[in-house]
Amino acid sequence: MDLKVEDLNVSYDEKRVLKDISFNVKSGEIVTIIGPNGSGKSTLIKTISRYLKPRSGDIYLNEVNINRIHTKEIAKNLAVLPQVKAVSTDILIEELVSYGRFPHLKFGKRMSKDDKEVIAWALHKTGLFQMRDRYVVTLSGGERQRAWIAMTLAQKPRMLLLDEPTTFLDICYQMETLEMIKELNKTLGITVIM
Protein backbone atom coordinates (compact mmCIF):
# COMPACT_ATOMS: atom_id res chain seq x y z
CA MET A 1 0.00 0.00 0.00
CA ASP A 2 1.45 3.34 -1.05
CA LEU A 3 1.38 6.33 1.30
CA LYS A 4 1.80 9.95 0.31
CA VAL A 5 1.96 12.80 2.83
CA GLU A 6 1.82 16.35 1.45
CA ASP A 7 2.51 19.59 3.33
CA LEU A 8 1.23 18.18 6.63
CA ASN A 9 0.85 20.61 9.54
CA VAL A 10 -0.37 19.43 12.93
CA SER A 11 -0.88 21.47 16.08
CA TYR A 12 -2.02 20.88 19.62
CA ASP A 13 -3.99 24.02 20.44
CA GLU A 14 -1.66 26.75 19.15
CA LYS A 15 1.58 24.74 19.46
CA ARG A 16 2.66 23.49 16.05
CA VAL A 17 4.16 20.01 16.31
CA LEU A 18 4.57 19.10 12.63
CA LYS A 19 5.35 21.72 10.00
CA ASP A 20 5.18 21.17 6.22
CA ILE A 21 5.93 17.42 6.34
CA SER A 22 5.96 15.70 2.94
CA PHE A 23 7.14 12.21 1.99
CA ASN A 24 6.21 9.09 0.00
CA VAL A 25 6.32 5.45 1.02
CA LYS A 26 6.03 2.79 -1.67
CA SER A 27 4.18 -0.47 -1.14
CA GLY A 28 6.34 -3.07 0.61
CA GLU A 29 8.88 -0.62 2.03
CA ILE A 30 10.01 -0.33 5.64
CA VAL A 31 10.40 3.28 6.73
CA THR A 32 11.73 4.34 10.12
CA ILE A 33 10.86 7.73 11.58
CA ILE A 34 13.79 9.05 13.60
CA GLY A 35 13.84 12.06 15.90
CA PRO A 36 14.34 13.14 19.50
CA ASN A 37 11.65 12.78 22.16
CA GLY A 38 8.86 15.27 21.61
CA SER A 39 9.69 15.87 17.94
CA GLY A 40 6.31 14.63 16.67
CA LYS A 41 6.94 10.99 15.69
CA SER A 42 3.87 9.72 17.57
CA THR A 43 1.84 12.69 16.35
CA LEU A 44 2.72 11.76 12.76
CA ILE A 45 1.62 8.13 13.29
CA LYS A 46 -1.64 9.31 14.91
CA THR A 47 -2.31 11.71 12.05
CA ILE A 48 -1.66 9.12 9.33
CA SER A 49 -4.06 6.76 11.12
CA ARG A 50 -6.72 9.54 11.35
CA TYR A 51 -6.64 9.59 15.15
CA LEU A 52 -5.59 13.25 14.89
CA LYS A 53 -6.79 15.73 12.29
CA PRO A 54 -4.13 17.88 10.65
CA ARG A 55 -4.40 21.66 10.58
CA SER A 56 -3.56 21.47 6.88
CA GLY A 57 -2.07 19.10 4.34
CA ASP A 58 -3.15 15.83 2.82
CA ILE A 59 -2.56 12.12 3.32
CA TYR A 60 -3.19 9.60 0.53
CA LEU A 61 -3.38 5.81 0.60
CA ASN A 62 -2.94 4.41 -2.91
CA GLU A 63 -3.60 7.90 -4.30
CA VAL A 64 -6.94 8.27 -2.46
CA ASN A 65 -7.24 10.98 0.19
CA ILE A 66 -7.76 9.22 3.53
CA ASN A 67 -10.68 11.52 4.30
CA ARG A 68 -12.55 9.90 1.40
CA ILE A 69 -11.97 6.35 2.65
CA HIS A 70 -14.56 4.78 4.97
CA THR A 71 -13.27 4.16 8.50
CA LYS A 72 -13.90 0.41 8.24
CA GLU A 73 -11.79 0.23 5.06
CA ILE A 74 -9.00 2.13 6.80
CA ALA A 75 -9.18 -0.36 9.69
CA LYS A 76 -9.00 -3.33 7.31
CA ASN A 77 -5.94 -2.03 5.50
CA LEU A 78 -4.02 -0.04 8.09
CA ALA A 79 -3.05 -1.54 11.45
CA VAL A 80 -1.75 0.73 14.19
CA LEU A 81 0.30 -0.34 17.18
CA PRO A 82 0.55 2.57 19.64
CA GLN A 83 3.57 3.17 21.84
CA VAL A 84 1.61 2.71 25.07
CA LYS A 85 -0.82 -0.20 25.14
CA ALA A 86 -3.29 -1.01 27.89
CA VAL A 87 -4.84 -4.43 28.34
CA SER A 88 -6.98 -6.05 31.01
CA THR A 89 -5.09 -8.38 33.34
CA ASP A 90 -7.50 -11.24 32.59
CA ILE A 91 -7.17 -11.41 28.81
CA LEU A 92 -5.69 -14.42 27.03
CA ILE A 93 -3.26 -14.03 24.13
CA GLU A 94 -5.72 -15.59 21.69
CA GLU A 95 -8.46 -13.18 22.74
CA LEU A 96 -6.16 -10.17 22.30
CA VAL A 97 -5.19 -11.37 18.83
CA SER A 98 -8.86 -11.89 17.94
CA TYR A 99 -9.47 -8.14 18.36
CA GLY A 100 -7.63 -7.70 15.08
CA ARG A 101 -10.54 -9.34 13.27
CA PHE A 102 -13.11 -6.76 14.42
CA PRO A 103 -12.86 -4.55 11.30
CA HIS A 104 -13.77 -7.59 9.18
CA LEU A 105 -16.87 -8.61 11.16
CA LYS A 106 -20.35 -7.63 10.12
CA PHE A 107 -22.38 -5.88 12.80
CA GLY A 108 -23.64 -8.36 15.41
CA LYS A 109 -21.92 -11.35 13.79
CA ARG A 110 -19.65 -13.87 15.47
CA MET A 111 -16.26 -14.89 14.19
CA SER A 112 -16.34 -17.34 11.33
CA LYS A 113 -14.14 -20.36 10.76
CA ASP A 114 -12.06 -18.18 8.40
CA ASP A 115 -11.59 -15.55 11.14
CA LYS A 116 -10.40 -18.24 13.54
CA GLU A 117 -7.96 -19.53 10.92
CA VAL A 118 -6.53 -16.02 10.47
CA ILE A 119 -6.08 -15.73 14.25
CA ALA A 120 -4.25 -19.09 14.33
CA TRP A 121 -2.10 -17.96 11.39
CA ALA A 122 -1.15 -14.71 13.20
CA LEU A 123 -0.28 -16.67 16.35
CA HIS A 124 1.91 -19.04 14.31
CA LYS A 125 3.61 -16.17 12.44
CA THR A 126 4.62 -14.57 15.73
CA GLY A 127 5.59 -17.82 17.47
CA LEU A 128 2.78 -17.61 20.02
CA PHE A 129 0.43 -20.41 18.96
CA GLN A 130 1.59 -22.78 21.71
CA MET A 131 1.12 -20.01 24.28
CA ARG A 132 -2.32 -18.80 23.08
CA ASP A 133 -4.05 -19.85 26.33
CA ARG A 134 -1.73 -17.82 28.55
CA TYR A 135 -2.68 -14.49 30.02
CA VAL A 136 -1.02 -11.49 28.36
CA VAL A 137 0.00 -10.14 31.77
CA THR A 138 2.22 -13.24 32.36
CA LEU A 139 4.33 -12.63 29.24
CA SER A 140 7.83 -11.18 29.03
CA GLY A 141 8.25 -7.81 27.33
CA GLY A 142 9.23 -9.39 24.02
CA GLU A 143 6.42 -11.95 24.12
CA ARG A 144 3.90 -9.23 24.94
CA GLN A 145 5.08 -7.13 22.00
CA ARG A 146 4.73 -10.18 19.72
CA ALA A 147 1.16 -10.65 20.98
CA TRP A 148 0.32 -7.07 20.02
CA ILE A 149 1.95 -7.53 16.63
CA ALA A 150 -0.06 -10.75 16.18
CA MET A 151 -3.21 -8.70 16.82
CA THR A 152 -2.25 -6.27 14.07
CA LEU A 153 -1.48 -9.19 11.72
CA ALA A 154 -4.92 -10.66 12.39
CA GLN A 155 -6.31 -7.54 10.73
CA LYS A 156 -4.57 -8.73 7.54
CA PRO A 157 -3.47 -5.16 6.88
CA ARG A 158 -1.52 -3.90 3.90
CA MET A 159 0.29 -1.35 6.08
CA LEU A 160 1.56 -1.42 9.67
CA LEU A 161 2.07 1.80 11.64
CA LEU A 162 4.22 0.93 14.65
CA ASP A 163 4.85 3.69 17.18
CA GLU A 164 8.28 2.94 18.66
CA PRO A 165 7.74 -0.84 18.73
CA THR A 166 10.88 -1.54 20.76
CA THR A 167 10.35 1.03 23.52
CA PHE A 168 10.69 -0.42 27.04
CA LEU A 169 12.20 -3.69 25.72
CA ASP A 170 15.57 -5.16 26.67
CA ILE A 171 18.09 -5.13 23.81
CA CYS A 172 17.58 -8.83 23.05
CA TYR A 173 13.81 -8.31 22.73
CA GLN A 174 14.40 -5.18 20.64
CA MET A 175 16.43 -7.19 18.14
CA GLU A 176 13.90 -10.04 18.17
CA THR A 177 11.02 -7.63 17.50
CA LEU A 178 12.83 -5.82 14.68
CA GLU A 179 13.83 -9.13 13.05
CA MET A 180 10.21 -10.31 13.21
CA ILE A 181 8.98 -7.06 11.61
CA LYS A 182 11.60 -7.38 8.86
CA GLU A 183 10.61 -11.01 8.22
CA LEU A 184 6.89 -10.15 8.06
CA ASN A 185 7.64 -7.36 5.61
CA LYS A 186 9.72 -9.70 3.46
CA THR A 187 7.31 -12.66 3.44
CA LEU A 188 3.98 -10.80 3.38
CA GLY A 189 4.94 -7.61 1.55
CA ILE A 190 3.38 -5.44 4.27
CA THR A 191 4.39 -1.78 4.17
CA VAL A 192 5.83 -0.82 7.55
CA ILE A 193 6.22 2.66 9.03
CA MET A 194 7.79 2.89 12.47
Backbone angles phi, psi at 61, to 5 degrees: -115, 120
Please report which helix (H) or strand (E) contains residue 146, including its range: helix 141-154
pLDDT band, very low/low/confident/very high, at 123 (cuts 50, 70, 90):
very high
pLDDT of residue 109: 83
Computed over every residue of the chain, the mean pLDDT equals 94
pLDDT of residue 116: 97
Asked whether 161 and 80 are in contact (CB, 8 A), the reply is yes
Rounded CA-CA distance 94/84 in Å is 20
Domain that holds residue 19: 3-193
Write the secondary structure of 25-44 as one string of H (helix), E (strand) and C (coil).
Answer: ECCCCEECCCCCCCCCHHHH
Asked whether 11 and 172 are in contact (CB, 8 A), the reply is no
Average pLDDT over residues 64-90: 91
Query: Does the structure show a pLDDT above 90 at 24?
Result: yes
pLDDT band, very low/low/confident/very high, at 102 (cuts 50, 70, 90):
very high
Asked whether 18 and 9 are in contact (CB, 8 A), the reply is yes
pLDDT tens, position by position, 154-186: 999 999 999 999 887 889 888 988 998 999 899
Query: Does the structure show a pLDDT above 80 at 26?
Result: yes
Rounded CA-CA distance 93/146 in Å is 10
pLDDT band, very low/low/confident/very high, at 16 (cuts 50, 70, 90):
very high
Task: Please tell me the total count of domains within the chain.
Answer: 1
pLDDT of residue 169: 80
Rounded CA-CA distance 104/115 in Å is 8
Backbone angles phi, psi at 104, to 5 degrees: -95, -10
CATH code of 167's domain: 3.40.50.300
Rounded CA-CA distance 190/193 in Å is 10
pLDDT band, very low/low/confident/very high, at 88 (cuts 50, 70, 90):
confident
Average pLDDT over residues 90-112: 92
Average pLDDT over residues 81-96: 89
Average pLDDT over residues 125-151: 93
Within 10 Å of residue 138's Cβ, how many Cβ atoms?
11
Average pLDDT over residues 100-110: 88
CA 21 vs CA 27, 57, 77, 95, 100: distances in Å: 19, 8, 23, 38, 30
| DSSP secondary structure of 4-17 | EEEEEEEEETTEEE
pLDDT of residue 101: 96
